[in-house]
């Protein structure tokens, strides 16, 4: 079933096409997801990405959802700014890739509509989803999240041994159970940093030499090794301060030069803000649950209260209370673990992309250099006669009497030969 996506799924967004209308224009993005969910070509404009983001935030509260790249409100400049267009396309791609790797977000009705519909059918489905009751949508999400936890044995990586890829190392040295100590972690990070610095300084022709690209892949392998050896954060911690946790590890990771990874810092900051926002939303759910608890108490004490009104208030209280606890309990376990796995995956994909781009550029330059060498070998040396040399070395354009004058005439041969009409050596140059 294509709707059961794994961490092997890939989402790509092609270069947007500018669609011009009578009164306004917009960019249209073609979205390709593998494995495919539909045979149709899926295209969406930026405003439809915005709807998806807002709908997920409203119906999946307490779950970290990275923000979209910003909108440039000056469309006259944004539509022609290739740098802005490219950065926004990459940001939208990371957003969709993240959704495809989080099953309880990917299986939401909004995400399914986005990945399988386009044009009017998508707009119609979006309107239907907007009309759905807020509590019904929250209950659907809660049921989907609980089904995921049950099927996965308690969440992402919960049923896997210590040292599973995807998480930061233990805070104390020694680790245990094959875990990596803090000293080992820092030493490995230093190695990665040194390799990044080396690769950053590589001239393009060094990469074209035999085994030159191995330097890039050495850094790539070290990052994989780092992810594989790092165990998860200790899940026994009760309600940790996610903000301090995220800020600490963000600072530690961001101190590394990342080979000019596009918007990597923005992704880090974006996700940290998403985690903080998710905790705020979970707290809001808790406050709503308390407010409805008071409402239920008042309605219960009133003999004239209608059963339907009491039932609705009770359902809201129970939904907000249960979802709030569910999100708080999974803030550092499910969401934290999945974040580290996704970060590592995106990092490796970005390194692989950079290596491919460098290899392509190097191949182009080698081909160009080979062409130049071929032309140089084919070129025939031309020896000028003494008269021409004297004229070219003359400082005064108006050559005084007694000095050689400019050789003229279509039949003149500067090499002193038999004056052919055309010199084939010049034609080759």
> Which residues, listed in sequence order, are joined to residue 44 by a DSSP beta bridge?
29
What does the pLDDT read at residue 69? 80
DSSP string covering 89-136, please? Answer: HHHHHHHHHHHHT-HHHHTSHHHHHHHH--HHHHHHHHHHHHHS-HHH
* Rounded Cα gap, residues 176 and 4, in angstroms: 35
Q: Are 406 and 399 in contact (CB under 8 A)?
A: yes
**Residue 101 half-sphere exposure toward CB, CA atoms < 13 A:** 28
The DSSP H or E segment spanning 42 is: strand 42-45
What does the pLDDT read at residue 24? 73
**Residue range(s) occupied by CATH 3.30.1520.10 in the chain:** 10-132
* Rounded Cα gap, residues 199 and 31, in angstroms: 32
* Rounded Cα gap, residues 347 and 258, in angstroms: 9
* Rounded Cα gap, residues 415 and 384, in angstroms: 5
Q: What is the pLDDT along the chain (429 residues), one digit of tens a residue?
A: 444 556 778 888 988 888 877 777 788 899 998 888 888 889 999 999 999 999 999 999 888 888 888 776 665 666 677 777 877 888 888 889 889 989 999 999 999 999 999 989 999 999 999 988 889 999 999 999 999 888 887 777 654 433 333 333 333 333 333 344 556 545 555 555 554 555 455 444 343 344 444 444 444 454 444 444 444 333 443 443 444 444 444 454 444 433 333 344 455 666 667 777 777 888 888 899 999 999 999 999 988 888 899 999 999 999 999 998 888 888 767 887 777 677 767 766 666 666 566 556 656 666 666 666 666 566 555 555 666 656 555 555 444 445 444 444 444 344 444 444 444 343 443
What does the pLDDT read at residue 157? 63
- 393: tokens are 């070395």
Sign of CA dihedral 83, 86, 87, 88: positive
The helix/strand/coil state of 320 is helix
Angle, helices 334-378 vs 214-229, to 10°: value is: 170
Nearest partner of 275 among 50, 52, 63, 61, judged by Cα: 63
What does the pLDDT read at residue 254? 45
The helix/strand/coil state of 230 is coil
Degrees (nearest 5) of the Cα angle 46, 340, 235?
Answer: 130
* Look-up of token digits 């590394």: 256
Domain 10-132 has what CATH class?
alpha beta
What does the pLDDT read at residue 277? 78
Largest CA distance in the chain: 128
What does the pLDDT read at residue 52? 95
The helix/strand/coil state of 168 is coil
The helix/strand/coil state of 332 is coil
**Backbone dihedral region for residue 259 (phi beyond 0: left; psi -120 to 50: alpha; all else: beta):** left
Q: Please give the model's pTM, rounded to 2 decimal places.
A: 0.61
Determine what percent of the chain falls in helix, strand and coil, rounding each to the nearest 5: 60, 5, 35
Q: How far is CA 394 from CA 11, 386, 416, in A?
A: 67, 12, 19
* Rounded Cα gap, residues 191 and 398, in angstroms: 68
What does the pLDDT read at residue 391? 59
**Backbone dihedral region for residue 21 (phi beyond 0: left; psi -120 to 50: alpha; all else: beta):** beta
């Amino acid at each position: 079933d294509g709707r059961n996506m794994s961490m092997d799924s890939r989402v790509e967004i092609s270069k947007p096409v500018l669609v011009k209308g009578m009164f306004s224009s917009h960019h249209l993005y073609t979205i390709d997801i593998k494995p495919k969910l539909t045979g149709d070509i899926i295209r969406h404009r930026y405003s439809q990405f915005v709807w998806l983001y807002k709908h997920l935030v409203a119906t999946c509260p307490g779950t970290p959802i990275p923000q979209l790249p910003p909108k440039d409100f000056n469309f006259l400049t944004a539509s022609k700014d290739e740098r802005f267009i490219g950065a926004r396309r990459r940001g939208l791609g990371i957003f969709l890739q993240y959704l495809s790797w989080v099953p309880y977000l990917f299986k939401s009705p909004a995400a399914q509509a986005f990945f399988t519909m386009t044009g009017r059918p998508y707009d119609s489905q979006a309107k239907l989803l907007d009309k759905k009751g807020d509590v019904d949508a929250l209950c659907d999400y809660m049921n989907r999240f609980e089904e995921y936890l049950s099927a996965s044995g308690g969440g992402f990586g919960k049923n896997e041994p210590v040292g599973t890829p995807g998480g930061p190392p233990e805070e104390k040295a020694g680790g245990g159970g094959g875990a990596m100590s803090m000293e080992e972690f820092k030493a490995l990070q230093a190695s990665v940093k040194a390799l990044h610095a080396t690769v950053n300084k590589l001239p393009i022709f060094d990469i074209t030499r035999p085994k030159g690209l191995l330097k890039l892949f050495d850094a790539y392998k070290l990052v994989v090794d780092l992810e594989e050896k790092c165990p998860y954060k200790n899940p026994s911690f009760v309600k940790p301060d996610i903000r301090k946790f995220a800020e600490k590890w963000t600072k530690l990771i961001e101190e590394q030069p990342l080979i000019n990874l596009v918007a990597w810092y923005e992704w880090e900051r974006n996700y940290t803000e998403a985690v903080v926002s998710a905790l705020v939303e979970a707290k809001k759910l808790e406050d709503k649950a308390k407010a409805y608890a008071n409402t239920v108490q008042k309605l219960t004490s009133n003999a004239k209260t209608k059963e339907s009104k009491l039932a609705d208030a009770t359902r809201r209280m129970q939904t907000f209370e249960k979802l709030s606890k569910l999100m708080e309990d999974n803030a550092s376990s499910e969401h934290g673990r999945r974040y580290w796995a996704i970060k590592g995956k995106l990092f490796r994909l970005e390194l692989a992309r950079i290596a491919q781009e460098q290899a392509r550029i190097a191949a182009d330059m080698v081909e160009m250099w080979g062409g130049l060498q071929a032309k140089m070998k084919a070129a025939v040396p031309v020896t000028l006669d003494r008269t021409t040399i004297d004229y070219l070395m003359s400082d005064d354009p108006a050559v005084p009497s007694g000095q050689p004058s400019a050789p003229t005439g279509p039949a003149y041969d500067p090499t002193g030969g038999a004056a052919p009409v055309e010199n084939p050596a010049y034609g080759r140059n």
